[in-house]
Amino acid sequence: MPVIANADDIPNALLDAPGRGPCTALLMARPTHFQVESAINPWMKDAQGRLNLVDRDRAIAQWNALAQAYRDIGITVHEIDGPPGLPDFCFSANQSLAYRDTDDQPAVVLSSMANASRKSEVAHFERWYRDHGYAVHQFPEELWPFEGTGDAIRHHGQHAFWGGIGPRTSIEAWNFVARATGAVVIPLRLTDERFYHLDTCLCVLTTRTALYVPSAFDAPGLERLQAGFEDLIPLCTEDSRNFACNAHCPDDKHVLIQRGSDATVKALTRRGFEVVELDTSEFMKSGGSVFCLKQELP
């Protein structure tokens, strides 16, 4: 499948893409060793420029509540644990991109992490995938970096991805992803360092509806988004800083979201979504929330 950059081509490309069912299973990584050890994104320091301090017991309780919230709406949650020395391991959206191949078999493209502190995470996920019967595809080193579903956001209902281009994923990555997965890929360039992954500024809710942060994209990206969605919901500044775009809607119905984004919750409720507000404040200290903490499994 191709990379689609022309906005006029996007509606038909999405219609012609193979169908894909709703998410029914996730892989989540326990935050056993979670902490902020270095600042690799703008959210990881406080107003005085010091590294944020994490309450790990509280983080584990928040993670358990998120996993239970998924189970409560019928999603199977698989768990993986990492060794000491990998403080960002729990952000399991980043180390891989799982999908079904053309033979309808589970497969995965492993990530090539942008920061040296996170590179060792990938091997642990690779082991899990191999143990569970996935075909594993290594990401070419010369196309570095690529950070999985941190920047590859699925378009609901179709085998298609919106692909973030920024500090964590190169523009060259998307041609490989399109070839390896057989999916349509629509690239979106990120323009604000605060929104370093696409999952911080775009949340696909249904095949026609998405949350987004308009200021995070360049003009061509905004045109592509407008071509791909009938109902784009812009976030206010307050809610974008509260990681409302790092929400997750696995089933076109339930939206799991960081609590306190009142304007966004009202917009979602008006559209008939069932909103599940959660506390992910400890993980926000490292620049992530709901979406970052899981990997959709095919």
State the Cα–Cα distance between residues 76 and 174, nearest whole angstrom: 29
Strand 209-212 versus strand 231-234 pairing type: parallel
User: If DSSP codes are grouped into helix, strand and coil, which group holds residue 293?
Assistant: helix
State the Cα–Cα distance between residues 271 and 268, nearest whole angstrom: 5
Enter the DSSP assignment of 140.
Answer: P
In Å, how far are 59, 240, 293 from 283, measured between CA atoms? 7, 15, 9
Sheet-wide strand order for 184-189: 152-154, 160-165, 184-189
Q: Is 292 a catalytic residue?
A: yes
Tokens of 201: 């500024």
Q: Is 197 a catalytic residue?
A: yes
Count CB-CB contacts under 10 A for residue 166.
25
Tell me phi and psi for residue 249, to 5 degrees: -120, 95
Tell me phi and psi for residue 227, to 5 degrees: -75, -25
294, 249 contact by CB (below 8 A): no
Catalytic residue among 137, 159, 197, 254: 197
Catalytic residue among 90, 201, 203, 292: 292
Catalytic residues: 197, 292
